[in-house]
Amino acid sequence: MSTLPLSDDRRAKRNVWVLVAAQAILGAQMPMIFTTAGLAGQTLAPNPCWATLPITMAVLGSMLSATPLSSFMQRRPDGGRGSFWARPLGRSGR
């Protein structure tokens, strides 16, 4: 069993901490977007019942487009590189 040099071990630990921090920031982002969008919608909508409609449509659009777009990208012979431009189609509602 070979051992890695000390510098590679430090780099690996640093990479883990960077990824943990990035995941924590991303995890905190979505609830803030939902809250802010609901409050902004309540302020702008003539009827409070319509306050969360924009964020609802964004989530619904992402949900409905994820499976067809992933199937499309999976069928590509180049491993999805050519379908890179199809990815924004699933996020057009955001």
Output the 3-class SS for the chain. Answer: CCCCCHHHHHHHHHHHHHHHHHHHHHHHHHHHHHHHHHHHHHHHCCCHHHCCHHHHHHHHHHHHHHHHHHHHHHHCCCCCCHHHHHHHHHCCCC
Residue 41 lies in a domain: yes
For residue 30, give its domain range: 6-90
- Per residue in 5-58, pLDDT tens? 556 788 889 999 999 999 998 888 888 888 888 888 888 888 888 888 888 888
Residue 1 lies in a domain: no
pLDDT band with cut points at 50, 70 and 90 for residue 93: very low
Q: Is the pTM of this model over 0.95?
A: no
Rounded CA separation 61/59 (Å):
5
Looking at the structure of the chain, the number of domains it has is 1
